[in-house]
Structure 1
Amino acid sequence: MIAITGATGQLGQFVIKHLLKRTSAHNIVALARNVDKAAAFTAQGIEVRQADYTQPQTLVTALQGVTKLLLISSSEVGKRAIQHKNVIDAAKEAGVELIAYTSLLKADSSPLALAEEHIETEAYLKQVNIPYVLLRNGWYTENYLASMAPAIETGQFIGAAQDGKISSSAREDYAEAAAAVLTSTAPQAGKVYELAGDESYTLTELAALISEASGKPVTYHNLAEADFIKALEGAGLPTPLAAMLANSDNGASQGGLFDDSHTLSALIGHPTTPLKELVFKH
């Protein structure tokens, strides 16, 4: 059986969508903190089990009979490492044969502060000696598309990435890659996949696409990281989230979100979703 943590989250739902194209619903276990939110999975014949990253006692029970586990990284930045450790320990105890972990693009050399907890988790996987495969996901294009509406309203797309190239892709592309790895008949233990979109762009180029899609003038305005944090806070974002986004943009200016290996498209068997398509659809 294949189990997915965070199954009701945005990435988890897409993973299950693509798993259903590759295997039977009876071979899938959806792990969710709130099982009430997973009713749609039950209706599809998928077994739903309660599992909480912060409650280790729920995890061993939830992972009984599971052979492959997709550990989707926690959304709670700053608490991720211990939460991931809880899942890994439970998987080891339950006899899980392979963990696929959603890490960060080039985590071991990334300038993004987000990499720290991913590096720690990768090290722990190695330490506990459980077979694992790393899905080092690049940026989700949706992270930037969330700023489209205010950009169109103000005529400015703000950021701190300077002219850094960003190789993002749709969240669903990364989910499809996870499904491909989890259902592959080829050995996956020990593999490291650096996953990113086929095309790369600057935020200036993204702003131009937003302008084209909206029919309104939108230009990119680069800010210092500290000023970008203040701007995001002013828009209502909590300080930790604002700091994380600004730091990630700064990391992009240093090449932290660029990759031209085309590993993602090779894994899913088709080109990644074009940026223009996502912008015009949003």
Structure 2
Amino acid sequence: MILITGSTGGLGKETINALLKLIPAQQIVALARDPEKAIDFSNAGITVKKGDYSSYESLPAAFSGVDKLLMVSAPAFSDQSLEVNTIRAAKDAGVKYIVYTGIQRKQGSTWVIPGVTERDLQMEKLLAASGMSYTIVHNALYLDVLPFLLGNSVIKKGVLFPSGTGRAAVATRSDLGEALARIIIAEHIYPQHITLSNSQSWSVTDIALLLSKITETDVPVIELSQDEYIAYQEQSGIPPFYAKFAADWAAAMKAGEFEETDPLLENILGRKPIGLETFLREMYKPLLQI
């Protein structure tokens, strides 16, 4: 049996949808704090178990009979006891292999994205100390979050994301979810640290050029400081906390944290991952009909 935590979140759903195409539904367990939100999985024949990561007592029974656990990282800034409880319960229940989803970072980097990288580093220590077999998957920055990072007025006002000349080998949640599904069902165990990133990396200049091509308008790159970007996001209606969080990702991209490409994602998928132009064309194609 394979259990997926965070099953009702974006990456968890994509992974389970991919698993349904690869193995029988009866071999999949979806863990959810609120099983009502996972009713579609139940209807597909998947076993949905209730589990609250903040409560260790709710987890061992849910993990009973599970051989492999795909542990989708908890939301940024959430209590790190969630991971502690999950690993402890998995070990106590006899889970043989854990795959944990972290964030891509440059090799040897000490860069910190508040609320994110500290969690990954803590997880590395916890998993190493657990004595269990595990793989930490360093996922690329999601293509899916670009519309939020770029803002609603990117076509009219230009690309204002303050990442300088930094590049990112961004990938879609759907491609990452499919790769995770294939990793967790593989007969072999993957190395303890792997990176899933696109086969190409892009900068904000590339984004602007592609948006200009797609919309047949001039979409420039507007250089802003971190503070100016935060102010711009807040003026667009984004709460200050989220505006600052977006700026932290821009700073990490500027520092090259997401620039390294890796062939593994393409190799696992057996095809080219969805690229920036394909994603932007799908996202902004309604503008072509205006």
Say yes or no: TM over 0.5: yes
- Give 1:88's aligned residue: 87
Runs of 4+ displaced beyond 6 Å: none
Counterparts of residues 218-233 of structure 1 (less than 5 Å)? 218-233=219-234
In the alignment, is residue 141 of structure 1 matched against residue 143 of structure 2? yes
Residue identity in the other structure for 2:123: T
**RMSD of Structure 2 on Structure 1 (CA):** 1.7
- Give 2:174's aligned residue: 172
Segments of 5+ residues of structure 2 without an aligned counterpart are: 284-290
Residue identity in the other structure for 1:265: E
Counterparts of 1:82 and 1:267 in 2: how far apart (Å)?
32
Residue identity in the other structure for 2:85: N
Contact 2:50 2:62 in 1 (8 A): yes
Counterparts of 1:222 and 1:268 in 2: how far apart (Å)?
36
Offset at residue 211 of structure 1 (A): 2.4
Residues 146-190 of structure 1, C-alpha deviation per residue, up to 9 Å, x if partnerless?
3364212x32221110010111011111111110111101123x4
Contact 1:112 1:248 in 2 (8 A): no
Residue identity in the other structure for 1:191: Q
Counterparts of 1:265 and 1:246 in 2: how far apart (Å)?
29
Contact 1:161 1:249 in 2 (8 A): yes
Offset at residue 214 of structure 1 (A): 2.5
The farther-off stretch of 217-226 and 44-53 is: 217-226
Aligned residues: 279
Segments of 5+ residues of structure 1 without an aligned counterpart are: none
Q: Look up the SS of the partner of 1:16 in the other structure.
A: helix
Residues 126-161 of structure 1, C-alpha deviation per residue, up to 9 Å, x if partnerless?
112221111110101111133364212x32221110
Residue identity in the other structure for 1:123: K
Cα 1:4–1:205 change in 2 (3 A) is: same
Counterparts of 1:230 and 1:110 in 2: how far apart (Å)?
27
Counterparts of 1:223 and 1:124 in 2: how far apart (Å)?
39
Contact 1:148 1:210 in 2 (8 A): no
Q: Look up the SS of the partner of 1:222 in the other structure.
A: coil
Scaled by the length of structure 1, what TM-score is found? 0.93
Residues 178-203 of structure 1, C-alpha deviation per residue, up to 9 Å, x if partnerless?
10111101123x43211111111111
The farther-off stretch of 260-269 and 16-25 is: 260-269
Residues 10-61 of structure 1, C-alpha deviation per residue, up to 9 Å, x if partnerless?
1111101111121110000011121111111111100011122222222222
The farther-off stretch of 195-204 and 104-113 is: 104-113
Contact 2:171 2:274 in 1 (8 A): yes
Scaled by the length of structure 2, what TM-score is found? 0.91
- Give 2:186's aligned residue: 184
- Give 1:49's aligned residue: 49
Contact 2:198 2:262 in 1 (8 A): no
- Give 1:101's aligned residue: 100
The farther-off stretch of 232-241 and 16-25 is: 232-241
Q: Look up the SS of the partner of 1:31 in the other structure.
A: strand
Contact 1:110 1:256 in 2 (8 A): no
In the alignment, is residue 63 of structure 1 matched against residue 66 of structure 2? no
In the alignment, is residue 267 of structure 1 matched against residue 268 of structure 2? yes
Counterparts of 2:153 and 2:57 in 1: how far apart (Å)?
43
Counterparts of 1:275 and 1:112 in 2: how far apart (Å)?
26
Contact 2:3 2:66 in 1 (8 A): yes
- Give 2:153's aligned residue: 150
Residues 209-261 of structure 1, C-alpha deviation per residue, up to 9 Å, x if partnerless?
12222233321222222222222222232333222221111111111111122
Offset at residue 104 of structure 1 (A): 1.1
Offset at residue 110 of structure 1 (A): 5.4
In the alignment, is residue 214 of structure 1 matched against residue 215 of structure 2? yes
